[in-house]
Amino acid sequence: MTPLGFERSLALVDRLGLSQPQVSKHLGVLRAVGLVLVRADGRHRWYRVNGPALKPIHDWVGSFERTWNVRLDRLDDVLAELKPKEETS
Amino acid sequence: MNTTNRHGSATVTLPADREILITRQFDAPAELVFKAWTTPELVKRWWVFGTSGWLVCDIDLREGGSWRYVTREEGGMEVGFHGEFRTIEAPHRIVSTEVFEGFPVEDPDAAAALNTIVFEERDGVTTMTNNVVHALQEHRDAHIASGMESGMQVSMDRLEDLAVELDRAA
């Protein structure tokens, strides 16, 4: 049975539609920088996302996203105001 | 602030090393979103961050035409962006360059990003996608990192809005 939250690299090959060597290469890099964790069990290897290590990346993009959110919320307000005018004209 | 009829929030993804993809849905036809995106009087109302004021908002909406936005932030610092329209297919597609004038390089124009903005309408709802392609990954990363500062500012403005709203309600 697959340990909770872990995936075999073969499952990732299926899901991503990439070749086995490509997936292995990506996993190797992600492991090296600590973004995925690996568990070896006999001849199988299971991989899991390392959530806490991803947080700085999430935060980095997150503040940029919030900036755009506020900007586009304001655009939404402008559109809401324009809409009745355009529809009745 | 009116929050009805909102079609969710903006999402930002990084589809490739040099790219940023911003997506948002609006409860309005593409024609209206295009108009709000390309008319200076309307752009002035949404593009700017809360505390800044406009110095320049020029849009020469034709292929080969240029645009320039300059705002003054609270501390007096001027922030400018400009670019050139490459393709205009009203009301569905705009391709333009974007140069951040404060970019700390010798020739900011050489560091121009290419923005492809698409407005796709379905059943009266318009999906906006803004695909930003930078010349270098480090420019893309600096662009994302700029959100740290403005994001902070935006939070403070939100807090202020909330305070005003609570004050009125009291």
Chain A contact for B158, CB < 8 A? yes
Q: What's residue A7's pLDDT?
A: 82
Q: Is residue B167 packed enough to be buried (19+ CB in 10 Å), middle (13-18) or exposed (0-12)?
A: exposed
> Which site among A29, A59, A73 would you substitute to test the B interface, given the most B Cβ atoms closer than 10 Å to its Cβ?
A73
Task: Tell me how close the Cα of A67 comes to any Cα of chain B, in angstroms.
Answer: 5
Q: What is the mean pLDDT of residues B16-23?
A: 95
Chain B contact for A75, CB < 8 A? yes
Of B2, B10, B37, the CB nearest to A80: B2
Q: What is the mean pLDDT of residues B55-75?
A: 93
Sheet holding B53-59, edge to edge: B7-13, B19-26, B125-133, B113-122, B93-100, B78-89, B66-72, B53-59
Chain A residue numbers touching B151 (CB-CB < 8 A) = 62-64, 66-67
Q: Is residue A50 packed enough to be buried (19+ CB in 10 Å), middle (13-18) or exposed (0-12)?
A: middle
pLDDT at B105 over 70: yes
- Among the listed residues B79, B83, B80, the one whose alpha carbon sits nearest the alpha carbon of residue B94: B83
Indicate the pTM of the whole model.
0.75
pLDDT at B3 over 50: no
pLDDT band at B2 (very low <50, low <70, confident <90, very high): very low
- Among the listed residues B154, B167, B161, B135, the one whose alpha carbon sits nearest the alpha carbon of residue B50: B154
What does A19-86 look like in DSSP terms, one character per residue?
-HHHHHHHHHHHHHTTSEEEEEETTEEEEEE-HHHHHHHHHHHHHHHHHHHHHHHHHHHHHHHHHHHH
ipTM for the predicted complex: 0.77
Tally of CA atoms within 13 A in the half-sphere of B22 that contains its CB? 21
B95: left (phi over 0), alpha (psi -120 to 50) or beta: beta
Q: How many of the other CB atoms lie within 10 Å of CB of A5?
A: 11
Strand partners, B71: B54, B79
pLDDT band at B75 (very low <50, low <70, confident <90, very high): confident
Q: What's residue B73's pLDDT?
A: 79
Q: What is the mean pLDDT of residues B38-50?
A: 87
Q: Quote the distance between the C-alpha of residue A54 and its chain's center.
A: 9
Do the Cβ atoms of B46 and A78 come within 8 Å? yes
pLDDT at B161 over 90: no
pLDDT at B36 over 90: yes
